[in-house]
Structure 1
Amino acid sequence: MAEATAALSGAVVRYPGRPPIGPIDLSIAPGEIVALVGASGAGKSTILRLLAGLEPPSEGRVDRAAAPGRTGFVFQAATLMPWADARTNVALPLELAGVAASDARRRADEALATVGLGDRLTARPRQLSGGMAMRVSLARALVTEPDLLLLDEPFAALDSVTRRRLIEDLHRLWGAGSPRPAIVFVTHDVEEAVYLAGRALVLDTATGQVAAARTLPGPLPRPEGWRMDGAYRAAVEGLAHDLADAMTASSREAA
């Protein structure tokens, strides 16, 4: 078996004023797409920060095979520099890594073209719709050709049509990767999780531990009409049941 792109082993995170998150054990295989599903406060974003190396665990281990600079992170908000155009925003991680400015701009232009914004290279964030701004953020995460791509509910604030289009784009870009990056995607939406991922992990609300794991059916990227397939609908209902069970169990323990 190939070495995991990233893994948590007995990881515990302690914050003042709340019970600890963990211990958490999970492993992300190269090229797989994993959805993290759980209630607010279950530790989904904390797990992403651990996997990204942005936060150390209080206890346990984080193992990362991804090369330095080869982890992309897309946050809930686009987090673009408002004074800079799309090209400059996307080129930033390359320039910070020491890539020559001309090469960084060329690669930024290519990344923006892949997300459908090849004609908006010089647009400022204020000139972009919410969906366009998120595409710029996605291009910025992809421009380094990451081994690991972490997505923290980046489509939650978008309308349903734009959200579906961006998920289709994400599948297309992932499928075109060589090698394909591993993706860890945080969401509250079980339909989004089943459509996007090949595996879903449900987190316990109180501890952040993996309360249930479900391998999701069907090929990735998804074929046209997959949302109408009976296997998709059954997986959505199954994952919703897992989430409800995890939330109910946490409520009983809190009582």
Structure 2
Amino acid sequence: MNWTAVATIYRAEMARFWRTFLQSFISPVLSTSLYFVVFGSAIGSRIQEVDGIDYGAFIVPGLIMLSVITQSISNASFGIYFPKFIGNIYEILSAPINFLEVVAGFVGAAATKSLFIGVVILCTASLFVDLSIQHPVAMVAFLLLTCLSFSLMGFIIGIWAGNFEQLQLVPLLVVTPLVFLGGSFYSISMLPPVWQTITLFNPVVYLVSGFRWAFFGQADVPVLLSLCAIGGFTLACMGVIWWIFKTGWRIRA
């Protein structure tokens, strides 16, 4: 592993993040505050508790997952698409580095940025509600795996995208609806039986459920199944990226 190459790509991507640090910091704080005003106050006044958990605290894992997933995809997709757009991708491909080192640099930076956003949202949420994390190690594991897996997905989207509009196509039309319908702001046990079954086909359900279990010790689906789901998704994304670099699809044309 050429760690110098990995560090170079990583530092270049992080430098772009630090140039917009204030924007990157304020945006999640404001959006989290608005979610608490809308969901925590308006809906929370009608729904006091969910499964014995205060509703304001109940939505925190979902809020973190929503932001982490969207930020991971956005950062990784733009990170690899921009070199394609300006033509620098050919310099990277011609350098004596393999695809693992390229992916480690871009995806590592994207995952770091989304992890930062997740921590900021967690700290912001603690100002509104009392939070207790029953399984901190599991919480960190789910957070890291989510940042990594969806950064890998964003990397694939960035390679696939042919213009800037397509960068937002999958996050807006596919990922965001799946997150909102994946139990981020409610328990799927509150749904009718038929819809509970349908919801189980939503992969985001397993992420939110496992992450919420790390906080409160309660989950809509078994925790081991959640870990298998996120692990399988990560491996699938790595397999797709390996195929892309092997065939040169969308990066050598």
TM-score by length of 2: 0.27
* Structure with the higher strand share, 1 or 2: 1
* Structure with the higher helix share, 1 or 2: 2
